[in-house]
Structure 1
């Protein structure tokens, strides 16, 4: 494929990185995870950036690196962090740069089940008690859905395997 840019948005735990790798592999193009890209360029984990430099610094770097990624002529599948679409003009930038943005829409209960298993690795939720997680996710999804729903395509992905979701995305490419 010549110069295709695919962007996956959705809440943490929605499968953006897993599905993105499958799509990129199928299309034989690069896969980029924005959080990994930031960690590599900043030589720090996301958790360390939040702890030492704060969320505002992180969000500024997020915008900077998002612009840098889109400035290339390379084809790629890009997985955004769960909060990325909600800050600055990030969603507008994404939709201006590609016709292939996809919202991986996963329900609250499924997200809770997934995130309970990896809570300690997620700075936004690591401090929460297990019983607080569902309410936290619900509140966040309510706040963020406005931005997520600006994606060109919505993929309902509660009961599908990552491979099935990747196939749905590939079949909807503009």
Structure 2
């Protein structure tokens, strides 16, 4: 089975994905890391050098490729992945694939991202908590319709990683 983790930045797709993969003895793949390996460029460099349209085409291509794998994988996708190129339909219609939306409240995301913004080019320029709240709120409003299509929703608010992993396993098995 392939388990696809979707959600906004800082919802825990990568950190929870690695921990879930370890617990289930699955492989873990981060789609952005996979793209970087295949393109020999960082995601931000792909955007700068080749443009967003090129990136989204490659993202679609590699996502389809990974969803055809026969082994057990936890696949973490970028926060925007479900929102472009029909990617959410590809995820939902793939065989032996389960999609999980790691759902976080606006306040949880703001608090997490204020601490990590330097590492995130999309939000590095944001100065205040109010600006961050407005930015994420608008983004979530645009993206949540895609995220909500996931087969399973697991809330991460006020939970430890172990609690979220347990919730995911209960939902899946």
Q: Distance in 2 between matches of 1:99 and 1:42?
A: 25
Other structure's SS at 2:102 match? strand
CA contact (8 A) 1:9 1:102 kept: yes
CA contact (8 A) 2:67 2:97 kept: no
Deviation of 1:126 (Å): 2.0
Deviation of 1:120 (Å): 2.1
Deviation per CA, 1:15-64: give whole Å up to 9, x if none.
01111111111110101111111111111111212222221111111101
The aligned counterpart of 1:84 is: 81
Unaligned runs of 5+ in 1: none
Instruction: Decide which moves more: 91-100 or 163-172.
Output: 91-100
The aligned counterpart of 1:47 is: 44
With the length of structure 1 as denominator, give the TM-score of the two structures: 0.93
Q: Distance in 1 between matches of 2:127 and 2:44?
A: 18
Unaligned runs of 5+ in 2: none
With the length of structure 2 as denominator, give the TM-score of the two structures: 0.94
RMSD: 1.3
Instruction: Decide which moves more: 4-13 or 47-56.
Output: 47-56
The aligned counterpart of 1:115 is: 113
Stretches of 4+ aligned residues off by more than 4 angstroms: none
Q: How many residues align?
A: 171
Q: Distance in 1 between matches of 2:50 and 2:15?
A: 28
CA contact (8 A) 2:4 2:97 kept: no
Q: Distance in 2 between matches of 1:21 and 1:89?
A: 26
Deviation of 1:129 (Å): 2.5
Q: Distance in 1 between matches of 2:149 and 2:104?
A: 16
Deviation per CA, 1:70-94: give whole Å up to 9, x if none.
1221110001100000001111111
The aligned counterpart of 1:143 is: 142
> Which of 53, 58, 62 lines up with 2:59 in the alignment?
62
